[in-house]
Amino acid sequence: MPKKVSVKLILELRAAGISMRKIESLMHVSRHTISAVYKAADVHSVSWDNVKDFDEDKIYEMLFPPTPKTSVFEEVDYDYIHSELKKTGVNLKLLWNEYRNQCISKGTIPCGYTKFCKGYSNYVQLSNVTNHLTHKPGSTIEVDWSGPTMSILTPDGERIKVYLFVATLPYSQYSFVKPCLDMKQDTWLKCHIDMFEFFGGIPIKIVCDNLKTGVIKHPKEGEIVLNEAYESLAQHYMVAIMPAQVRKPKQKPSVEGTVGKIASAIIAKLRNIRFISLSHVEEEIFKALKEFNDAPFQKEKEAEQKYL
């Protein structure tokens, strides 16, 4: 494939009977490039009369179709994965371990756990089938920073902003909230560790927003790139990090909804308290959170914790 030049003009000049040498002089392109365009046009039966009304990019794609990307990883049979997930006690983590062991025995390269889970999520969307993990107890934790904040008022009158880390188990809506003085990477990671301790276990996957403290790149196609620290945490705890697609908060509806509920149930409830320290905020949030969690979905909460 030659470098991208005006293939449309080359075809037009060719149709007008202009010699290759003259085209080379007029367009300041090599004869090798012009020859490649001629050859591609002949191979794909592309003539000036057929494409004169097309734009440049369309003609170039007709002459030089993009080569399909091939993956170095062993292909995953998601039909099999989907059928196995219907069985009692089977989850993505178990199936990924089985897939990885099969790859090792065959001498092929397995994809990572996050890519494996992302592939299954894409399979569900493209195949229009029911995702058996959507409301499966203990499979997912959704995490985010709350938009509404709180504050500490120091003795000298300084007001310090307090941010809220929020995590939710979608099946039961059982939630965790931690007040923080910043939203930096170290704080984000520490909140995850405290979250695991609070819930008493590790889920199969974590659905997060595309925040810079966690996600470097989230293309529409291809591999999600997490920052090194977040990736290390995921590998240590054997959990898949699954960022919601950009501008698609509905892909993590439980935490999006819970953030609003937390604002009402906790921030509004504690609005008249003058907080003097972060530990004071944490103490009062713990009390309000207990009321929030104890009210609804008690059976679902107990079922979900059993699966973590």
Residue 133 has pLDDT above 60, yes or no: no
Question: What's the CA gap between 84 and 65, in Å, rounded?
Answer: 38
Nearest to 59 by CA among 43, 71, 48: 48
Encoded tokens for 2: 């030659």
Which helix (H) or strand (E) segment is 1 a member of?
Answer: none
Q: What are the boundaries of each domain within the chain?
A: 7-63, 78-127, 140-301
pLDDT of residue 254: 56
Mean pLDDT of the chain: 80
Minimum mean pLDDT range among 78-87, 103-112, 217-226, 228-237: 217-226
The average pLDDT across 60-70 equals: 77
> What pLDDT digit, counting tens, does each position of 256-296 carry?
666 667 777 788 889 889 999 999 999 999 999 998 888 75
- Residue 256 has a pLDDT of 62
Q: How far is CA 295 from the centre of its chain?
A: 32
pLDDT score recorded for residue 228: 81
- Give the pair of three-digit tokens for residue 94: 């178990």
pLDDT exceeds cutoff 80 at 56: yes
Helices (H) and strands (E) in the chain, counts: 13, 8
Distances, alpha carbon 56 to alpha carbons 5, 11, 34, in Å: 9, 11, 15
Average pLDDT over residues 221-246: 72
The predicted pLDDT at position 179 comes to 96
> pLDDT class for 190, splitting at 50, 70, 90?
very high
pLDDT reported for residue 213: 55
Most confident of 124-128, 207-211, 239-243: 239-243
The DSSP letter of residue 6 is -
- pLDDT exceeds cutoff 80 at 100: yes
Class of domain 140-301: alpha beta
Strands 159-169 and 140-145: antiparallel
Phi and psi at residue 191, in whole multiples of 5°? -60, -40
Q: Which residues share a beta bridge with 144?
A: 166
With contact defined as beta carbons under 8 Å apart, do 175 and 258 qualify?
Answer: yes
pLDDT digits (tens, 9 = 90+) for 209-230: 766 655 544 444 444 456 788 8
Q: What is the pLDDT of residue 165?
A: 93
pLDDT-wise least confident of 29-43, 65-79, 271-285: 65-79
Give the per-residue pLDDT at 281: 95
Sorting pLDDT into bands at 50, 70 and 90, what band is 5?
A: confident
Res 249 pLDDT > 60: no
DSSP calls for 229-289? HHHHHHHHHT-EEEEPPTT-GGGSHHHHHHHHHHIIIIIITTTT----SHHHHHHHHHHHH
- For the ranges 46-55, 79-88, 254-263, 285-294, which has the lowest average pLDDT? 254-263
